[in-house]
Copies of this chain bind each other. A is one copy, B any other.
């Protein structure tokens, strides 16, 4: 049962399509709002790559010099969160500077007269929404003080301090400053989908470390899906035994992750998606489904029929025992029950369910799901968990401590908040869609024109980036998460007014490299993946670098387009092709487009030489890239992409010539080339050229201002 046409098309009738649509609409709205926002005072801080930008940064004269004698100390005991965090801090500092720090920071952080970084906090923080994460960081030439109400604040401050590391002629230093910082939102999450593709433990760990570096504090762990049930379940062992292809986390591993996350000040909220998205549960336990089965693990992607049977009392006994076990395993106060995309066919086909609906006066599937949710809520409440679910779980009469996670958009959050419900935003943060960091960055959980009262606004707890895993594996998932998620992290932590897109990108590139020391593979796997594809042929260094350059200025098609370009993806499909080697957003492409924009907007057209250099560098790679790709079957699909690059460069060169000479092209010429560009814009190998918008801008300008 591979994904049928029905299933593929189902994507476009589903949440995902809606998500896409909403994100388009929201983006325009958000952009309009934020582009006019007033800039906060960041005078003189342009050289700093802090991210998320703190609530208040006051630069002072002077530098704190870092030598091998540098010592950190406070009252934390070995084994405690802060002690470990300081050990990591020292190790990373040594790693970046090559300094042989003398302190045995693994064993001794006692306060001594020579201690130069002194940390102080009042209590151990709780991993719950609303906990105090604020800190004050004072860097003076002789001494650094980091103080906070909770140890969580210390963790956040240590990340800021490490980001302050600077270099001058005399060596390494921290610039003197006073930073007072606290998060704007208390719920700053990343969803990792371990189901569509299983994510080995180290993927989770390295991403937790990276999350902590940008002050995210919730791992929303998507643990059950049609394609796999990923947790060892002792009460119902056939769940993981038959529902995972052997790819699941043991309970010890789960506890290991929870402890690891806790050390980083990160909550781990599990999601068990019910009643839909549940095929894998029924492989071992078909008796709880709405249709008799048999079931097998789903390999395709989309929205599928299998669904729990809300009319079967045994289902609730099952969930009682299931959630009793999981509530004990996961200490987080929240339990996410998914609740999205219930498709309903199997409900309709089951006479028992029809009768049940009639008997209980449930007019439609939504009412039936509401009934189901209420029963589940009782169970969760019994085991001391608060319920979280996607928009669909909302129904009148739910208790006010539930949280609604919105993929529908800020309006849904507004509606919820007005009724007194807490919400978190994920619409606009779907990082699997390969959109730009800018787009996510300008998407605000509480837009500046929000109609909510101050009290109501408090119900918007924050947001979550969502890393759905249909089209990523352990090799590529990091490059889909980072660095763009750092921009989302800033949106959720920093003051609303921090919204200068160019400055965000400036800092993003530095942060991106810093994240590598934590193990995330977003940058380093690109070359590795390209090497794999060409390893069976002989090639020159020039050919390889050309292919790489082509990847650097290409992007995967956006949204869900990869599902409709000919390849039928399943969880076994290779995600090792050229398109998988491309980053979701080409930072070079963005720079180039900016450059052309500036050229068009500036009177003196001084960027011309730089633009021409770029174009020259692109021209140079075409032949080698085509030659290499032509020899490798897996790369043949991108030969047309290189051809499109050639076309685009030619068009741009010609267009620039008009500008340079002050000539005016024939309208025919513009039309003709717009048509050529339209062709060049078509995806090839599921990729787009990131520089095409620049070409479009040039033609547009020629069209509008003939010969200006």
Contacts and interface: CB of A to CB of B under 8 A. Distances in A.
Nearest to A95: B576
B104 A634 contact: no
Given A167-B632, A202-B201, A98 B576 contact: yes
A252 interface: yes
A567 interface: yes
A166 B538 CA distance: 11
A21 interface: no
A104 B227 CA distance: 13
Interface stretch (A116-124, A134-142, A388-396, A508-516): A508-516
Interface in A597-633: 631-633
A106 B246 CA distance: 9
Copies per complex of this chain: 2
Contact of A250 (B91, B202, B252): B252
Contacts of A567: 100
Nearest to A90: B572
A536 B107 contact: no
Contacts of A632: 167
A105 to B, nearest CB: 7
Given A166-B536, A200-B202, A250-B252, A100 B568 contact: yes
B96 A532 contact: yes
A246 B98 contact: no
A622 to B, nearest CB: 19
Contacts of A296: 107
B201 A94 contact: no
Interface of A: 79, 84, 91, 94-101, 104-107, 165-167, 171-172, 200-202, 245-246, 250, 252, 256, 296-297, 299, 510, 513-514, 516-517, 521, 523-525, 527-528, 531-533, 535-537, 567-568, 570, 572-574, 576-577, 631-634
Contacts of A95: 532, 574, 576
Given A99-B574, A573-B100, A524 B533 contact: no
Contacts of A96: 532-533, 535-536, 576, 634
A411 to B, nearest CB: 40
Nearest to A568: B100
Given A96-B536, A201-B202, 7 more contacts: A97-B634, A98-B576, A99-B574, A167-B632, A172-B536, A201-B201, A516-B528
A536 B167 CA distance: 6
Contact of A107 (B167, B202, B297, B514): B297
Contact of A531 (B94, B171, B513): B513
Nearest to A526: B524
B535 A633 contact: no
A525 B95 CA distance: 14
Contacts of A525: 524
Contacts of A99: 574, 634
Contact of A524 (B91, B245, B528): B528
Contacts of A576: 94-96, 98
11 contacts: A79-B246, A91-B572, A96-B634, A97-B633, A98-B574, A100-B574, A107-B245, A167-B631, A201-B202, A513-B531, A516-B531
Contacts of A514: 532, 535
Nearest to A105: B572
B568 A165 contact: no
A531 B634 CA distance: 30
Contacts of A537: 167
A97 B534 CA distance: 9
A137 B99 CA distance: 53
A693 to B, nearest CB: 23
Nearest to A580: B98
A134 to B, nearest CB: 27
Contact of A513 (B510, B532, B568): B532
A573 to B, nearest CB: 5
A167 B101 contact: no
A23 to B, nearest CB: 29
A166 B536 CA distance: 6
Contacts of A634: 96-99
Given A172-B633, A535-B513, A573 B94 contact: yes
A523 B524 CA distance: 9
A97 B256 CA distance: 36
The 5 tightest CB contacts between A and B, nearest first, are A98-B634, A202-B202, A94-B574, A524-B524, A95-B576
Given A165-B536, A167-B633, A574-B95, A245 B100 contact: no
A536 B297 CA distance: 48
Nearest to A296: B107
Contacts of A104: 299, 572
A210 to B, nearest CB: 14
Given A252-B250, A572-B101, A574-B99, A527 B524 contact: yes
A568 B99 CA distance: 12
A163 to B, nearest CB: 10
A546 B201 CA distance: 36
Contacts of A165: 536
Contacts of A510: 535
Contacts of A633: 97-98, 167, 171-172
Taking each of A106, A171, A299, A525, which has the highest tally of chain B beta carbons within 10 Å of its own beta carbon? A106
Contacts of A531: 513, 516, 523
Nearest to A531: B513
